[in-house]
Amino acid sequence: MDGQYIVSQVEFSSKDSKGAYQKIRADFYNSKLGHVFSYSFPARAYTDISEAVWTLDGGNVMFRVNIPEKGNQLVAVNAKGKAQWRLSIAGNADVESAKGGFAVFGSNELRFYNAKGGLVTKRKLVVQHEAPMFTLWKAADQKLLVRMNDRQLIVNPATLKTLYEFPLDTADVEYRYTGNGYLYRISESSSQISQFVL
């Protein structure tokens, strides 16, 4: 995970007054496979460590978790496995870490939070609801790549201002942003690669 930890998701059966359920724990190991810490999720919570864990500046680890009756939340824990803060997010929101914190894209809004879960800035980005789900990635140069239903944006995470904009991939053409303003257009049918400086 970001080169800092190896993470294992452990599930085991448990029981309470509401009946049986799967309990989830995340175990964190260093590069020599020494156990560093563990975090146990609340009863009946669901997460998928392979898709929903990030390292934040300052060493905290952030999880996306769905907790019954509370909904989707981001939970940050320190290197001792103690929860530092929680943030409720939309069920269809996409999350990505970035320098200085993390971004959340959902409900037609892109928000950037610091590593302590405090809102830094936000920006409206309108997407059509019938379109495929929007996505958010960390680009090679630590900027944010926002894939919308009609275009792709490279965004400065600190200000959320658009730095570059380019088309969506098609069945024949793929666009790859490699950082620092370089974009590659790969055409399968013509077997060509073109480089652009944005």
Q: What is the pLDDT of residues 73-104, one digit of tens each?
A: 999 999 889 999 999 999 888 999 998 899 99
CA nearest to 168, candidates 144, 181, 149, 186:
149
Beta bridge pairs of residue 38: 27
Distance, in Å, from the CA atom of 89 to the CA atom of 93, rounded to the nearest integer, reads 7
pTM: 0.84
pLDDT-based confidence at 18, cuts 50/70/90? confident
Task: Please tell me which residue, 161 or 16, carries the higher pLDDT value.
Answer: 161
Q: What is the pLDDT of residue 132?
A: 52
Q: How many helices (H) and strands (E) does the chain have?
A: 0, 18
Tokens 């009863």, residue? 43
- In this predicted model, what pLDDT tens digit does every residue of 119-171 receive, in sequence order? 999 999 876 654 555 689 999 999 999 988 888 999 999 999 999 999 999 99
Q: Label the pairing between strands 71-77 and 192-197.
A: unpaired
Distance, in Å, from the CA atom of 5 to the CA atom of 22, rounded to the nearest integer, reads 24
Task: Please tell me which residue, 57 or 128, carries the higher pLDDT value.
Answer: 57
Query: Above 80 in pLDDT, residue 177?
Result: yes
Query: Above 90 in pLDDT, residue 59?
Result: no
